Structure 1
Amino acid sequence: MIKLERYLVIIVLLLGELLPLSGQVKSIGLPKIINYKKADYNGGAQNWEVGQDKNGNLYFANTSGLIQFNGTSWSKNVIPNTTVRSLKVANDGRIYVGGYNEFGFFNVSSSGKLVYNSLSKLVNPNSKKIIDFVWKVHIVDDAVFFQTFYRTYIYKDNRLTILEAPNRFQFSFLVNNKLYFQDIVLGLVEYNNGRLIPLANTKTLNNTEVWGIVPMANDTMLIVTLDKGLFLYNNGMLSPWQCDANNFIRKNNSLGGRLLNSKFIVLNSVLDGIIICDTNGRIVQHINNRKGLQNNTALSSYTDVSGNLWLGLDNGIGYINENSPFTFLGSSFELSSVYSSAEYQNNLYVATNQGVFSHAWNTPFKEESFKFIQGSTGQAWAIQEIDGTLFCSHNRGLFTIVNGKAGNFLDDRKGYLGLKKIPGKPNYLIASNYHGFAIIEKTPAGWKFRNQIEGFNVSDSKFATDGNNVWLLKNSVYKLKLSDDLKRFTLTTTYENLDKSLKGINSIQQINNKIYFQSANHFFTHNQATDKFIEDKTLSAIFSKIPKIKYCFEDNKGNICYFFGDSSMGMLMRQQDGSYQNVLSPFASLAGNLVYFFESVNTIDSSNIFIGITEGLVHYNPQLHSGITTQPKAFIRSFTFAGDTLITGNLPTLKNVSIPYKDNNVKFTFSSPMYDNPENIKFSYKLEGFDDKWSNWTNVPVKEYTNLHEGNYRMLLKVINSYGKESKPAVVTFTVAPPFYRHPLAYIFYILVVAFAIYYVRRRVKIKIRQNRYYETLEQRRLYLEKETRIRQEQYELEKEIERLRNEQLKVKILTKDKELVNNSLQVVKKNKMLNGIIHRLKDIDSETLDETAKARFTKLYKTIDKELNTDKSWNNLEKHISNVHFDFLKRLKDKYPTITPREMDLSTYLLMNMSTKEIAEIMNISDGGVELARYRLRKKLNLPRKENLTGFLMGI
């Protein structure tokens, strides 16, 4: 009996090893879990059932209505009484739903919107009030069954018939296209052409609720009850299913289950999430709240077309990425950031930032199943097996792990980063630590710290050695020559570039037992004899079509792991013929999660590869790639214009749409039914007729165009998933009609208007020409008369000007003569003065003393002079002429100074003529002092300052 149990254990373990190769559910780690809260989908908490249409859109029977999810956005559609408890998606696209006192179907309208059509209105009004909740909807052939507790409504050929419950229905199930009901008295019954046939030996289920029936091999059915566990039914016999899954369900209650990928069974629980078991009842995965599921009560479960699992939860929606080669061992396994891992003596060891953990390799990986290695607390940088010994490079030093326990530190004076064998020296290891490099020696008592290498105190975890030299990259490449006694570096050589055409050196790695130096994906080896780098064309050619890497290394199976960008990786999987297959796309989902600079890949075998990430450990099975190779689909989800929206993602085909020019602002939304890594879905679009090239890849699922010109357009959309797979373009064609003023009819109207305008203008031009000729004649006549009048006027003005000039000339002549007369008069005055002087002198002569002749002559001369003086009127004429010559001056003077006297005016005139005081005294017949007094009085009347010249002032008037 003991031997039999051992054999059974071995068989179970072998099955555990083979299961990952034969199905998609992995026993190591947990799949990726995405939780959607009710705030995400804007609905109620409970989700009772899940379905999917041909386009990949998902539907959820939610307490607030029918929820639709297209991978990018959520939408809600309501029915009367709101709650939706059941749904089924038909092949023709109809979505049949049931709620409270209501059932019917959603159909896609011509605009792509889901429109609800009620079928409950076909129920007799007298019985409608007892419809109650429609708990299940089934589609069997061309009939739709809406099941309530008391009856089932059958919709076929647009008619509704009623199937009454023998006593009271509990729930119903469709298994292999056969419909089963649970009656609370008869047990399980099968529906057959309108009849209900009881299944033998199932009345024992009446003391519980059957929540699920799952088909299994050999016509066996797995019956899932609420609180009595799991039962197998075959050939009329009902028996409990004695297995781990049954123990779990009896403890936590169940709300049904379903097949997963034909090899596994999903069982929903009330208290502790879900379990996935194989067909033998062995639990492969257990997913609950502690492992990332947001709620422990799973009301429903559904497998989508990609083989991934959807959970309708009591509070929210859960997505479990079962169809993936990756599973995760994170916080639920007590792991944090993983820097290194190694399989040693049937145990998996993991170096983390908290210390070292281990797990038995042949034991199922369950939560909290990793064991902490006592004495390893702190930052563990690397864990490596070398020559049968497991070394741990730790922040506190270097130690070995023996029998699952941390041994003594070989060196605890400094932190260690990693170890490497020294070629040609099997008893020595070289280790990088915080102060440079050290030598570890193998002794009969085990490995021991030998010495710190002097001469260089900088190191790194990524170094290489060829036995005589240590190669280290720190901005530049250093070649450190080791002394024969391994105690010092005797020579240090620095290299900046590998080739003149390549700048800098990116990494140092050891591949196929050779040290390679890499720059821009070009790989070089070093020639010791010439001290030059030689490119390996073969290896460079392998990396020529790979993204520019920053580092790579070879694992223990000959695969080359490479890292690029900020935190992305790929693998060159070595084939049996020595070639490499580039595997890049699966690792895209890990981008950004790798531990920067301490990237770790541990290949145990072809099905088990462990990758360290910031949140734990990733298990990668390269054999599982079926879902990744599927080409994604792109959908132009909606097309919005003029306040109207076409939900194009729901329509099988879309004819060309014409929109008016005034509504030439359009908006598109995009979607793709890919649910494993929605954050990595990217779209690229191109509007033919507007864009010249495809847009850059973007996560934004919306694009809007404004002010489009009239014409024909084709909106093209591509999507790329997280694995680098690109979809075929989705297309929506539409036409922007021209504005009314650019419509073809408008151009015909424009032609007619132009023709009429030409005719009208020509006619008007002819009339205008005739009018212009008439008016031109009149105008010429008018201009002639105006010219003649103007000539006459000019002639008249000329005559007047001539007359004026003549008058002025005459005045000038008169004035000139007056001036001459003034001058002559002044001469005469002077002459008379002279004669007066002669007379006065003659009076002084005594004529008595003269003889008679002389006396007679003397008397005659005297009389002649006296006569001349008496008859001369020059003085009067002088005053008259002076007044005439200076008439304007005297007038201005009188106007400016009205109080001036004629005498003062005469004085002013004489002063203006620049006469001397003596001349003025003679003319005015006053003394010189009298002239000065008169001048003084004139200045006072004119208000002249003492310093201003009187004559100059008068000349300025």
Structure 2
Amino acid sequence: MQTQNSKKDHDIKLVKLILIYILLCLPASFFGQVKKIGLPLIKNYTRTEYKGGTQNWDIDQDKNGNLYFGNNDGLLQFDGSKWNKYKAKNSDAIKCLKVDSSGKIYVGCYNEFGYFKANSKGKLEYFSISSSLDKKTLGIIDFIWKIHLYKDEVVFQSFDRIFIYKNNKIKIINAPKRFQFSFLTKSKLYIQDISSGILEYKNGKLNYLKGLNTLNNSEIWGMVELEKNKILATTLDKGLFIITNNQAVSWNTEANTFIKKNGSLGCVLYKNKYIVINSVLDGIIVCDLNGNIMQHIDRTKGLQNNTVLTSFIDKSNNLWLGLDNGIAYVNENSFLTYFGFSYNLGTVYSSVVHKGNLYVATNQGVFYHPWNTDFKEDSFRLIEGTTTQAWNVQVISGELICASNKGALLIQNGKMIKNLDPKGYYGFKSIPNHPNFFIGANYNGFSVFEKTSSGMKFRNKIEDIDKSSNSFEIDKEYLWLKKDQYIHQIALNNDLRTTKSIKTFTQFSKKNMGVGSLQIINNKVFFQSNNIFYTYSTTQGTFLEDAIMTNIFKYIPKIKKLTEDTNGNLWYFYDESMGTLIKVGNNKYKHVITPFSSLTGKLVANYMSINTIDSKNTFIGLTDGLAHYDATLEIKSISKPIAHIRSFTFPGDTIYLGNKQDESMKYELPYDSNQVKFTFSSPCYENLENIEFSYQLEGFGEKWSAWSNNTIKEYTNLKEGNYKMKVKARNSFKIQSGETSFEFRVTPPWYRHYSAYLFYLLIASGLVYYIRFRIRMKIRKNKYAETLEQRRLYLEKETKIRLEQYKLEKEIEKLENDKLQMKLLSKDKELVNNTLQVVKKNKTLNGIIQRLKDINTSSFDEAAKTQFTKLNKSIIKEVSTDKSWKDLEKHLKNVHFDFLKKLKEKHPTITPREMDLSTYLLMNMSTKEIAEFMNISTGGVDLARYRLRKKLELNQKENLIGYFMSIK
């Protein structure tokens, strides 16, 4: 008995250990599942993006995460940041490819097969394997359609033969008749021949498998092992078959019905629980191991082409599709699925499940879909009469009401049966202590509705309120309204027709400025600003901080809106993204934010649409449809991203580090190549637009850069020295990668190299010797030059003395001439003065003559008359014979000869009389004197002076005499 108990305990412990082992060792993907509701996120890549041909035949991934596509225009490589294209020898189209553990990329083309391998600079180079074949064999290779890494061999399969490449040698096995395709299922390699059926390649030979003649007339495009000794085969035109116990039987399932109608181009096993089957006519289906279709993805659901040539599961368990025109990425491993345009949904503002239907309020109206039926194919249907902007759809007092631009619409069984009030409405709330009444926020205020025995009806508009918005709440005391940056507190009278009071608040405390969100949590109205929560105390008439709620949101990003779902979970918006606090106990929450990073930028601003039906079903309104979230899938592990330094570029060359298997090499750059550029990548293909990088160049900067989406960084004019480039990546879930680094060295310029310094030393020594030699030679030359200089100075001094003596003689001669000239000038001036005196005397005598004429001589006797006559004649003779005037003119010209010469040169048109006037003015003679000398009136002098100024072109401000002095 004791032994049995101990054995039982031992068995229990063993079971526990096995369970623990399973839980610890099984990958997180084991727990994942394909969601039947909604569609995964699909991203299409067109040929204009990857710059290749239309058709993509095969897909694989290397250990660095880079993806490779066999394209009609060559080999495409995608690292998450950039597409690259490579060509094989003498061929464009690559029908198949396979990446081995060393990084070689084996490819099959037309009459050609080989592999790409990174060279010393990381650039992929093509190496032909088929070129070693003889020319006769080389010309009949045809297309290579499949490549398999089978044990230590590489098997290339064409329609006529297989080529086994091992140890740089090729072995050829011809087809019994004609091969179709070949498939590697776990550890076995199968090949289909059109006459011999299915063959197994084993130990270098083809072995015929009996009992599978059913498939002889079908074209198999895919084979996957569902479980041990059970293989699913997909055919082009005969549907799906299960191969087991040497028998091939039709797989009579939902999936088989679909493939018989649309044809199959292959399949792939997903997470060992699902099968992805490619079709010719209608995209792909994802089914479980029993053939039940879980998802159908085609062109109407976002795929850019319905013919799927190949499918591939990457390392993150997401799906890649090679299409007849383009490439598609299907984010199967996401927490979220979507209902978008393929389901007839636009921007979603609200959703609710009521009486077996899921109702959705959109910018185009209210749509609905039966809740308990399959969502795979059927679109949402529009409720007739609701075609307008619908802001909300909600259940009030057991009735479904839509708040829309048309009014308050009552909906029953998928039909709009009544418009309760034609005003536009934002939403409705039940009124505490008034079970048969509810309130609605319309465009101009609030209205009250009543549920009566005859149904819902509009009751009244609340007076005194002309403000409204979609953000309002009601408690037992007040109606609270958030409008712009204000919170309005409205107290209603018991009749619900008028208000008692309206108060407005712009802040909840003096220390916390502004107004945030307004929400009901656990049946209590909370006010939030800067993640600090408040409640309103009616007794104290003020807002009081709620420490418990504030502490819950202490480490949460600054929120904009908040709502509580039916399960007590708290959902919040921040920036352009969202997160949730899943309730796990009393005031205890689990913070979940990473699943919603893919919704960043897709949420509807100011309209938080969260509809939680149960833990497996939460609907989130988006600008382009509806997202579905299953909280039970939260246990999925999120892999840590990888950061790659994709390339390292410097003048004249590029090192492709992303292709190299060994990134530990250190490069040296010459100083004239000290301008470098790095490109980064991270093979995190989920939400590529949200992948961010941070980098640091050790030796240049001490800090890491801020996170950004930039995948390129350049550095210029780096100094000589050792550098280490470090890069980190952060995916959309804000999970950081480890550091990836690359070291390089910038050598000093030649003029700062150690050999240059040795050369500088030799040059300096030579200069010292040369300078000493030159100094000695200089001293000798200086002594000789000094003797010559003394001789030159003596001769120069002697010449200078003679020259000075000559100059002195000339100076004496000049002084004597000047002295003589001065004497002559003095004489002329004296003569002028004397002449002027004589002129004045003649004027006096003329005056006497005039007076003598006035004397009456009739009273004189004869003697007196005779004497008077003699005196008069004597005076007249004296005056008439005097030539002093002409002498005066001559002397004036002599005295002022230089002045008159310069004046004439400067003004050639000046007349002699004007020159005389100029001379008189230069001598500072008065107008009266000039009039007498020129024998004109004083007015004539003024006129002559005016004409002279005009001829000399002088303005009124210029002084005439001063002008003459400047000429002299």
The two structures have a TM-score, normalised by structure 2, of: 0.81
After superposition, residues 185-200 of structure 1 pair within 5 angstroms as 185-200=195-210
In structure 1, what is the Cα distance between the partners aligned to 2:535 and 2:677? 56
1:911 paired with 2:921, answer no
Q: How far off its partner does 1:766 sit?
A: 5.1
Contact between 1:939 and 1:950, CA under 8 Å: does it hold in 2? no
Among 255, 272, 277, the alignment partner of 2:287 is: 277
More moved, 534-543 vs 175-184: 534-543
Counterpart for residue 251 of structure 1: 261
1:570 paired with 2:494, answer no
Counterpart for residue 449 of structure 1: 458
Counterpart for residue 471 of structure 1: 480
1:619 paired with 2:657, answer no
1:174 paired with 2:124, answer no
1:440 paired with 2:364, answer no
Q: How far off its partner does 1:423 sit?
A: 2.7
* Change beyond 3 A, Cα 1:469–1:933: same
How high is the sequence identity, in percent, across the aligned residues?
Answer: 49
Q: How far off its partner does 1:559 sit?
A: 1.4
In structure 1, what is the Cα distance between the partners aligned to 2:47 and 2:220? 28
More moved, 189-198 vs 244-253: 189-198
Contact between 1:710 and 1:737, CA under 8 Å: does it hold in 2? yes
Indicate the RMSD between aligned Cα atoms, in angstroms: 3.4
Q: Which amino acid aligns with 1:286?
A: H
* Change beyond 3 A, Cα 1:218–1:407: farther
1:261 paired with 2:185, answer no
* Change beyond 3 A, Cα 1:580–1:763: farther
In structure 1, what is the Cα distance between the partners aligned to 2:785 and 2:566? 111
Q: How far off its partner does 1:205 sit?
A: 0.9
Contact between 1:209 and 1:226, CA under 8 Å: does it hold in 2? yes
The two structures have a TM-score, normalised by structure 1, of: 0.82
Describe the superposition over 1:430-449 as per-residue Cα deviations: whole angstroms up to 9, x where unpaired: 22112211223333444433
Contact between 1:153 and 1:162, CA under 8 Å: does it hold in 2? yes
Q: How far off its partner does 1:44 sit?
A: 1.4
* Change beyond 3 A, Cα 1:519–1:933: same
Counterpart for residue 740 of structure 2: 730
After superposition, residues 37-56 of structure 1 pair within 5 angstroms as 37-56=46-65
* Change beyond 3 A, Cα 1:103–1:888: same
Among 17, 37, 43, the alignment partner of 1:34 is: 43
Structure 2 unmatched runs, 5+: 1-27, 846-873, 894-910, 925-967
* Change beyond 3 A, Cα 1:38–1:115: same
Counterpart for residue 460 of structure 1: 469
In structure 1, what is the Cα distance between the partners aligned to 2:779 and 2:709? 72
After superposition, residues 242-641 of structure 1 pair within 5 angstroms as 242-409=252-419, 411-474=420-483, 475-565=485-575, 567-576=576-585, 578-625=587-634, 629-641=638-650
In structure 2, what is the Cα distance between the partners aligned to 1:953 and 1:437? 107
Contact between 1:397 and 1:414, CA under 8 Å: does it hold in 2? yes
Contact between 2:842 and 2:879, CA under 8 Å: does it hold in 1? no
Q: How far off its partner does 1:128 sit?
A: 2.4
Q: How far off its partner does 1:221 sit?
A: 0.7
Counterpart of 1:207 in 2: which secondary structure?
Answer: coil
Among 873, 879, 882, the alignment partner of 1:929 is: 879
In structure 1, what is the Cα distance between the partners aligned to 2:573 and 2:918? 114
Q: How far off its partner does 1:637 sit?
A: 1.0
Q: Which amino acid aligns with 2:621?
A: G
Structure 1 unmatched runs, 5+: 1-18, 816-884, 894-905
In structure 1, what is the Cα distance between the partners aligned to 2:322 and 2:464? 65
Q: Which amino acid aligns with 2:415?
A: K
Q: How far off its partner does 1:931 sit?
A: 4.6
Q: How far off its partner does 1:384 sit?
A: 1.7
Contact between 1:397 and 1:412, CA under 8 Å: does it hold in 2? yes
Counterpart for residue 745 of structure 1: 755
Contact between 1:425 and 1:467, CA under 8 Å: does it hold in 2? no
Q: Report how many aligned residue pairs link the two structures.
A: 849
* Change beyond 3 A, Cα 1:926–1:760: farther
1:123 paired with 2:47, answer no
Counterpart for residue 164 of structure 1: 174
Q: How far off its partner does 1:46 sit?
A: 1.2
In structure 2, what is the Cα distance between the partners aligned to 1:936 and 1:302? 132
In structure 2, what is the Cα distance between the partners aligned to 1:34 and 1:798? 108
In structure 1, what is the Cα distance between the partners aligned to 2:398 and 2:771? 108
Counterpart of 1:216 in 2: which secondary structure?
Answer: strand
Q: Which amino acid aligns with 1:460?
A: S
Q: How far off its partner does 1:350 sit?
A: 1.2
* Change beyond 3 A, Cα 1:422–1:797: same
* Change beyond 3 A, Cα 1:27–1:21: farther
In structure 1, what is the Cα distance between the partners aligned to 2:703 and 2:834? 106
Q: How far off its partner does 1:639 sit?
A: 1.2
Q: How far off its partner does 1:25 sit?
A: 1.2
Q: Which amino acid aligns with 1:188?
A: I
* Change beyond 3 A, Cα 1:312–1:413: closer
Counterpart for residue 94 of structure 2: 84
Counterpart of 1:385 in 2: which secondary structure?
Answer: strand
Q: Which amino acid aligns with 2:515?
A: I
* Change beyond 3 A, Cα 1:388–1:920: closer
In structure 2, what is the Cα distance between the partners aligned to 1:946 and 1:65? 106
Question: Which one has a bigger Cα radius of gyration?
Answer: 1
Q: How far off its partner does 1:81 sit?
A: 2.3
Contact between 1:324 and 1:625, CA under 8 Å: does it hold in 2? no
In structure 2, what is the Cα distance between the partners aligned to 1:659 and 1:517? 61
Describe the superposition over 1:158-214 as per-residue Cα deviations: whole angstroms up to 9, x where unpaired: 111112222221111111210111121221111221232222221121111111111
After superposition, residues 682-761 of structure 1 pair within 5 angstroms as 682-761=692-771
* Change beyond 3 A, Cα 1:775–1:208: same
In structure 2, what is the Cα distance between the partners aligned to 1:463 and 1:209? 64
Q: How far off its partner does 1:808 sit?
A: 10
* Change beyond 3 A, Cα 1:711–1:938: same
Contact between 2:144 and 2:156, CA under 8 Å: does it hold in 1? yes
Counterpart for residue 132 of structure 1: 142
In structure 2, what is the Cα distance between the partners aligned to 1:243 and 1:561? 41
* Change beyond 3 A, Cα 1:773–1:223: same
More moved, 609-618 vs 431-440: 431-440
* Change beyond 3 A, Cα 1:908–1:438: closer
* Change beyond 3 A, Cα 1:367–1:888: same
Q: How far off its partner does 1:93 sit?
A: 1.0
Counterpart of 1:726 in 2: which secondary structure?
Answer: coil
Q: Which amino acid aligns with 1:682?
A: E
Contact between 2:29 and 2:317, CA under 8 Å: does it hold in 1? no
After superposition, residues 100-111 of structure 1 pair within 5 angstroms as 100-111=110-121
